[in-house]
Amino acid sequence: MRHIISPLDFSVEELDELMDTANDIEKHPEKYANVCNRKKLATLFYEPSTRTRLSLETAMLNLGGQVIGFASSNASSAAKGESVADTIRMISCYADIAAIRHPKEGAALVAAMNSSIPVINAGDGGHQHPTQTLTDLLTIRSLKGRLENLTVGLCGDLKFGRTVHSLINALVRYPGIRFVLISPTELRIPSYIRENVLDANHIEYEEVEILEDAMPKLDILYMTRVQRERFFSEDEYLRLKDIYVLDGAKMELAKEDMLVMHPLPRVNEISVEVDKDPRAGYFKQVQYGVYIRMALIMKLLEVEVC
Ligand code: CP
């Protein structure tokens, strides 16, 4: 039995296979319509979510399966003090696979250690968000045609943004990846990522504070939201929240084929005028998120297409 707690739980070859399946699902959805008949996905969300929960549920429904779950800790016995370990033991009796989102780093790992069904980490605090990373990899491969030899700008809240941490972990395994890390000093990438991931893998990167300086170099610009829920001080959040706003004027500085990505939700960091720019990829990214989560559920349930 396998879980996905980090993007590194799958080899590069396995990720390629998952993405191949996702691309096939996009072309031939009817082939996959019943492969998870009578299988149940449980979504255990202790933190708010729109995309991750609903795309996982859509993925399972598209595969012919069913879904159960809760969308907030207040709507479950967590509100009465039940632990994640006990909850997943219970859910293992009800469902075939579970996805968990939790504000605490490591909660998905605790769930996996106590589970008798596969567990998907749907985001654990500021740590990892592997299904978003699979979505991001598929989006890049589908829209840029490759995962190698790319200059990737990561902009915004690089300290608390778990999507950025997961994406860096995944992309360093591909050759010729360079990063431009764009953030204010207060929201720099954590030192454990810089030292244990970037430096340890001899990855070329630079840290800058001005988005405009980075724009002309980038093949991909990955914007992120300043994560209000992870700040200790509201004043600090208010000071930093609008530090980067991607707008039409800044897009004029970019390459003609630069891809703009964002895990969403956005707040103010991408102006709506950018939505109509052909380089805006963030809503296509949402659609790829369904295909890759379908492929992931099939893989974890060891379901094959006849
Ligand atoms: N990208 C993402 O994780 O979105 P949600 O918080 O809406 O799930």
How far apart are alpha carbons 29 and 24 in whole angstroms?
8
Return mean pLDDT, the chain.
96
Cβ pair 183, 206 in contact under 8 A: no
Contact 43 CB / ligand 1 (< 6 Å): no
Backbone angles phi, psi at 239, to 5 degrees: -70, -35
> Over 80: is that where the pLDDT of 235 sits?
yes
Instruction: Choose the weakest-confidence range: 84-88, 181-185, 233-237, 294-298.
Output: 233-237
Residue 129 CA, closest ligand 1 atom number: 3
Q: How far apart are the first and last CA of the chain?
A: 21
- Helix residue ranges per DSSP H, the chain: 12-27, 51-62, 84-94, 107-113, 130-144, 162-171, 191-193, 211-214, 234-240, 248-251, 282-300
> Over 90: is that where the pLDDT of 145 sits?
yes
CA 281 to chain centre: 15
Mean pLDDT of 148-159: 96
Nearest CA, atom 5, ligand 1: 49
Angle 174-177-182 (CA atoms, 0-180°, nearest 5)? 135
User: What tens digit of pLDDT does each residue of 93-120 get?
Assistant: 999 999 999 999 999 999 999 999 999 9
The pLDDT > 90 percentage for the chain reads 90
Contact 229 CB / ligand 1 (< 6 Å): no
Is-catalytic flag, 89?
no
- For 153, other C-beta atoms within 10 Å of its C-beta total 24
Mean pLDDT of 17-23: 98
User: What tens digit of pLDDT does each residue of 184-204 get?
Assistant: 998 999 999 999 999 999 999
- CA dist list (Å): 272 to 10, 143, 246, 269, 277: 36, 21, 9, 9, 10
Q: What is the per-residue pLDDT for 258?
A: 98
Cβ pair 181, 208 in contact under 8 A: yes
| The two structure tokens encoding residue 189 | 């990438």
Mean pLDDT of 31-35: 97
Backbone angles phi, psi at 38, to 5 degrees: 70, 5
Q: Given pLDDT bands bounded at 50, 70 and 90, which one contains residue 301? A: very high
User: Is residue 41 within a helix (H) or strand (E), and if so which, with residue range?
Assistant: strand 40-45
**Ligand 1 pocket test: which of 43, 52, 102, 162 has the largest number of ligand atoms within 8 Å of its C-beta?**
52
User: What tens digit of pLDDT does each residue of 48-66 get?
Assistant: 999 999 999 999 999 999 9
Q: What is the per-residue pLDDT for 239?
A: 82
How far apart are alpha carbons 102 and 112 in whole angstroms?
13
- Name the catalytic one among 21, 43, 52, 135: 52
Residue whose C-alpha is closest to residue 170's, from 5, 285, 12? 12
Contact 183 CB / ligand 1 (< 6 Å): no
Residue 264 CA, closest ligand 1 atom number: 1
Contact 51 CB / ligand 1 (< 6 Å): yes
Residue whose C-alpha is closest to residue 298's, from 62, 55, 132, 92? 62
CA of 162 to the centre of ligand 1 (A): 11
CA of 224 to the centre of ligand 1 (A): 11
